[in-house]
Chains A and B, each alone.
Chain A
Amino acid sequence: KQEVTQIPAALSVPEGENLVLNCSFTDSAIYNLQWFRQDPGKGLTSLLLIQSSQREQTSGRLNASLDKSSGRSTLYIAASQPGDSATYLCAVSPTGANSKLTFGKGITLSVRP
């Protein structure tokens, strides 16, 4: 059974800091990995999708990497801003004829002005 872990559960940083959010998964037989952002009481916003054949994806100040062999992904946020404060979840989908996402519990990020 796939398990996705995100540690720490919460993180507080000063504005402007570059930071890395970690995600690990136990079964390397994944089809893709997706990073989401969730604001309190809201839905999930897709940030980046990394296909299993890719090693990284970039969007603006965000860069996500994937190392399938070690079961790890990182989300790098450059020059953090207070507006980046949210919960960040990673999710993996398995190989096979379904795309059931298995989520980590998320990292709640607070960027202090």
Chain B
Amino acid sequence: DTEVTQTPKHLVMGMTNKKSLKCEQHMGHRAMYWYKQKAKKPPELMFVYSYEKLSINESVPSRFSPECPNSSLLNLHLHALQPEDSALYLCASSRGVFVGEVDTEAFFGQGTRLTVV
């Protein structure tokens, strides 16, 4: 099983709403990621969690708040977003993140299409 599951698939939210994106994997991977992808652009890294601890924050605005409740789950809490935050949000996981790990192949979910109105 190489599946990363993201919910919901689509989300429309107003600028004053609070919502959460969810990501789940059962591959035993210890690194999980959030990426943001705008139309016709490559994915851009937002956050990396390694062994349930935040290891990389790519200077993402505080209106995006990640959370890793356990090794299988990753959430992205959204609050006071702007229309320009509309994008495809991708979650990914990999077995390890440290040099020396044999396998750092990244597996992506199908994404959440977010529209901020």
Which residues in A have some Cβ–Cβ distance to B below 8 Å? 31-32, 34, 36, 41-46, 49, 51, 89, 91, 93, 95-101, 103-106
14 A-B pairs in the complex with CB atoms less than 8 angstroms apart: A32-B104, A41-B88, A44-B92, A46-B105, A46-B106, A49-B105, A96-B99, A97-B98, A97-B99, A98-B48, A98-B56, A99-B48, A101-B43, A105-B41
A43 to B111, Cβ gap below 8 A? yes
Partner of B42, one of A43, A99, A104: A104
For residue A14, give the distance in angstroms from its CB to the closest CB of chain B: 25
Q: Nearest residue in A to B41 (C-beta to C-beta)?
A: A105
B108 to A45, Cβ gap below 8 A? yes
A34 to B42, Cβ gap below 8 A? no
Chain B residues near A103: list those with CB within 8 A. Answer: 42-43
B110 to A42, Cβ gap below 8 A? yes
For residue B101, give the distance in angstroms from its CB to the closest CB of chain A: 8
Complex CA–CA separation, A101 to B56 (angstroms): 12
Q: Nearest residue in B to A103 (C-beta to C-beta)?
A: B42
Which residues in B have some Cβ–Cβ distance to A below 8 Å? 2, 4, 6, 31, 41-43, 45, 48, 55-56, 88, 90, 92, 94, 96-99, 102-111, 113
B42 to A106, Cβ gap below 8 A? yes
A99 to B41, Cβ gap below 8 A? no
A99 to B113, Cβ gap below 8 A? no
Partner of A101, one of B88, B102, B106: B106
Chain B residues near A96: list those with CB within 8 A. Answer: 99
B43 to A99, Cβ gap below 8 A? no
Complex CA–CA separation, A43 to B88 (angstroms): 9
For residue A86, give the distance in angstroms from its CB to the closest CB of chain B: 14
Asked whether A99 and B108 contact (CB < 8 A) given A41-B113, A89-B42, the answer is: no
For residue B113, give the distance in angstroms from its CB to the closest CB of chain A: 7
Count chain A CB atoms within 10 A of each CB in B4, B42, B94 and give the residue with the most.
B42
A46 to B108, Cβ gap below 8 A? yes
Complex CA–CA separation, A42 to B102 (angstroms): 28
Partner of B43, one of A31, A32, A44: A44
For residue B82, give the distance in angstroms from its CB to the closest CB of chain A: 22
